[in-house]
């Protein structure tokens, strides 16, 4: 079955440590996205990638980094520079980055900094 | 700035009809999408409107008025499983999706 997979579902991190969230898709989609969701709020774009080896900053990229070495994979690293990293992180993909593009989401990773 | 406004919470009765409104202010507009998200889950796509008018998909319909920068999601014959948060999202001038804060729909028996 085609889909988009995020792992792990729950992640605990000590303050000052970097952590990498995994996102893999087998939908053959060109575009991939990382969003952050805080309680009672909408989704805020961290980074997006339209094609392999290319990615762009979203609205809240500070303290995060990404790579897109393969079409299927778009990992997100939450660095120690991110001041408030505890949140629900959602990865999504779409056929292309443009109009009328339905986004397919992974099940999310809930990151807690302890 | 760019923003989308939708009610934070709506309550309805099982079997009834409910409308969730969304007004937007964005630089550029290509379309309005609606997504459903159950607690702790991932958003799932419901509908997309690029042109004015009503789009119907089963029990769900979505409406758009570009002149009023306004749209709504209409849910009919409400079922308990429809209890979720509903987000509107606008595709702006740079093709990125701008999201509303979401409307929590509470359904009572």
Asked if the model's pLDDT at residue B95 lies above 70, the reply is: no
Give the strand pairing for B97-99 and A19-25: unpaired
Q: Which range has the worst mean pLDDT, A54-63, A91-100, B32-41?
A: A91-100
With beta carbons under 8 A apart, name residues in chain B contacting A44. 99
- B58: which residues sit within 8 A by CB, 6+ positions away? none
Q: What is the per-residue pLDDT for A1?
A: 66
Q: Which of B66, B82, B62, B52 is nearest to B20 (CA)?
A: B62
Cα–Cα separations (whole angstroms), residue A71 to A25, A68, A109:
8, 7, 20
> Would the CB atoms of B99 and A99 count as touching at under 8 Å?
no
**Sign of the Cα pseudo-torsion (B10, B46, A40, B72, in order):** negative
**pLDDT surpasses 80 at A100:** no
- Does B42 sit within 8 Å of A107, measured CB to CB? yes
A42: which chain B residues are within 8 Å (Cβ-Cβ)? 4, 87, 89, 99-102
Average pLDDT over residues A19-25: 96
3-class SS of residue B81 = helix
Mean pLDDT of A6-23: 93
* B53 pLDDT higher than 80: yes
Mean per-residue pLDDT of chain B: 92
Kindly indicate the confidence band of residue B94, based on its pLDDT and cuts at 50, 70 and 90.
low
In this complex, do A42 and B30 lie within 8 Å of one another by their Cβ atoms?
no
Decide if A54 contacts A70 (C-beta within 8 A).
Answer: no
Q: Best interface-test mutation with A: which of B51, B62, B95 has the largest number of A CBs within 10 A?
A: B95
Give CA angle at A59 (A79, A42), nearest 5°: 100
DSSP for B1-59, written as a single string: --EEE--SEEEEETT--EEEEEEEE-SS--EEEEEEE-TTS--EEEEEESSSEEEEETT
List beta partners, residue B103.
B86
What would the mean pLDDT of B101-109 be, rounded to a whole number? 95
Provide the pLDDT for residue A103.
Answer: 87
Pairing of strands A109-113, A10-13: parallel
Segment among A31-35, A99-103, B86-90 with least mean pLDDT: A99-103
SS3 B80: helix
């Amino acid at each position: 079955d085609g889909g988009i997979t995020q792992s792990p579902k729950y992640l605990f991190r000590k303050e000052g440590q970097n952590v990498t969230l995994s996102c893999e898709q087998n939908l053959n989609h060109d575009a991939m996205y990382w969003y952050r969701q805080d309680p009672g709020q909408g989704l805020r774009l961290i980074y997006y990638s339209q094609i392999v080896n290319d990615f762009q900053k979203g609205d809240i990229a500070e303290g995060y980094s990404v790579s897109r070495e393969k079409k299927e994979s778009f990992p997100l690293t939450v660095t120690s520079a991110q001041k408030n990293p505890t949140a629900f992180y959602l990865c999504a993909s779409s056929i292309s980055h443009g109009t009328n593009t339905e986004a397919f989401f992974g099940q999310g990773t809930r990151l807690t900094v302890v | 700035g760019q923003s989308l406004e939708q009610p934070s919470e709506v309550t309805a009765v099982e079997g009834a009809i409910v409308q969730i409104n969304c007004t937007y202010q964005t630089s550029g507009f290509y379309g309005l999408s609606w997504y459903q998200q159950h607690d702790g889950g991932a958003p799932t796509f419901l509908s997309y409107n690029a042109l004015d008018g009503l789009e119907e998909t089963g029990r769900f319909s979505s409406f758009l008025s570009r002149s009023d920068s306004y749209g709504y999601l209409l849910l009919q014959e409400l079922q308990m499983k429809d209890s979720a948060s509903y987000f509107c999202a606008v595709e702006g001038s740079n093709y990125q999706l701008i999201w509303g804060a979401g409307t929590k729909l509470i359904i009572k028996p």
